[in-house]
């Protein structure tokens, strides 16, 4: 996995079936919002009520992706000192 691989690309390459389910849920129910321009997948609060399994799977994917991107210390430092946007 490249250091530059975003979350959506990570999901598409490592979990293609999950990506299909995320897109289907986003298109049909609106419980998930996919913003490919900003490399973001957002789950609404209602997703936890309507589909707790999908909610947990999405949270697990985020944890796995974060674990591959940085160490906890690097993540903490990034939160304290976000990169400037020029």
- At 33 the three-state DSSP class reads strand
For residue 47, what pLDDT is reported?
87
For residue 72, what pLDDT is reported?
65
What would the pLDDT profile of 39-62 be if each residue is shown by its tens digit?
A: 889 888 898 898 899 889 998 888
Query: For residues 63 and 72, is the Cβ–Cβ distance under 8 A?
Result: no
For residue 60, what are its two tokens?
């697990």
Provide φ and ψ at 35, rounded to 5°: -120, 90
How far apart are alpha carbons 21 and 86 in whole angstroms? 36
């Amino acid at each position: 996995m490249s250091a530059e691989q975003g979350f959506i690309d990570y999901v598409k390459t490592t979990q293609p079936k999950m990506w299909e389910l995320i897109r289907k849920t986003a298109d049909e129910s609106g419980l998930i919002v996919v913003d490919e321009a900003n490399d973001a997948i957002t789950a609404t609060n209602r997703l936890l009520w309507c589909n707790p399994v999908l909610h947990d799977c999405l949270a697990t994917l985020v944890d796995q992706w974060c674990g591959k991107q940085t160490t906890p210390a690097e993540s903490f430092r990034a939160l304290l000192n976000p990169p400037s946007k020029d």
